[in-house]
Each structure stands twice: as C-alpha cells, then as structure tokens.
Structure 1
C-alpha cells in the first residue's frame, strides 16, 4: 500500500508530552497516531453500518404498520401488565 505524509500543527508542549508517553510505551508517536486513525476509521464505519441497519429496521417497521400489521394498544398494555405482575410475584417470593 502506498504511503502518504500527514502533516499538521500541534502545540509544542502537547507534542513533547505525547512523544514522552509514546516512548514510555515503547512506541513512536507516528505508530500511535496510525493506530488512533485506524481505530477512528473503524469506529466511524461501524457507526455507519449500525445507522444503516437501524434505518432499514425502522423502514421495515413503518412498511409493516402501513400494511396494517399493528397490535392494538390494549393488547400491548395487557401483555406488559402481565409481565410486570409476573416479575413482581417472582421478586416477592425471592425475599
């Protein structure tokens, strides 16, 4: 893979402290910066993949709702009331 130079300005105190910390970890500043850049790119790619997944999931849910595949509110309320009651009973008997 071809290499490129990345040049930027940074406060000299920060540069010196960064170099000292890198050296203490037996690494160069350039090695750490490459690692940071790779990690940042990976994080951004994962975030974009998650956003794409979530958007697709929301779109499927909207399409399903538009098609009339809905659960009535009363049914949802009853189901979760039963779950809460079951959890309360389980917690009460474990005391």
Structure 2
C-alpha cells in the first residue's frame, strides 16, 4: 500500500449516522468500509472501460471486414446456421 492520504467529504448527517451504525454492526471501522467501496468502484469502472474498449475493437474489426468486402450478408448467415441446425438434428 502506498502513502496514506486524507479524504474529506460532506454528506447528510442522517446518512452519516446510518452508515456509522451499519459499519459498527459489522464490527468494522467506517474508513475500511469506505475503502472497500472505493476499491470495488474503481475495479467496476475499470472493467467497464476495458469491456467497452474490447467491444469497440470488435466493432472496428467487423466494419473493416465489411469495407474490405469480407463480410457476410444476413441471408448467407441464416443459410449457414440453418444448415448447422439441420445437421445437428440429424446427428442426434
């Protein structure tokens, strides 16, 4: 863990009281609960950003494929999968 820093925030007194009571009920310091929330938030947002980048790269590849005339039209895809479904039913 790196150097400690102080984080100050304003919140409603009722919310603070409720939060402190819940942290106490868990026998955990409120600061630890907040750190856990922050770590979860950072991990979630990082994962969302990485997933968004992954999807964007897949879309870019698909668009480039279509522009290079290497794509498949809807009729070709439907026919290919209809053939696969038919072969699966036969092989059962």
**TM-score, normalised with respect to structure 1:** 0.79
Over 4 Å off, 4+ runs: 80-87
Match of 1:92 in 2: none
Are 1:24 and 2:25 an aligned pair?
yes
RMSD: 2.1
Gaps of 5+ in 1: 90-95
Match of 2:68 in 1: 67
Give me the whole-angstrom Cα distance separating, in 2, the residues matched to 1:43 and 1:72: 36
Length, aligned pairs only: 89
Match of 2:79 in 1: 78
Match of 2:36 in 1: 35
Q: Secondary structure at the match of 1:43?
A: helix
* Farther off after superposition, 71-80 or 30-39: 71-80
Report Cα offsets for 1:12-59 as digits up to 9, x if no partner: 111111111101101111110010001000111101111111111111
Match of 1:93 in 2: none
Gaps of 5+ in 2: none
**TM-score, normalised with respect to structure 2:** 0.81
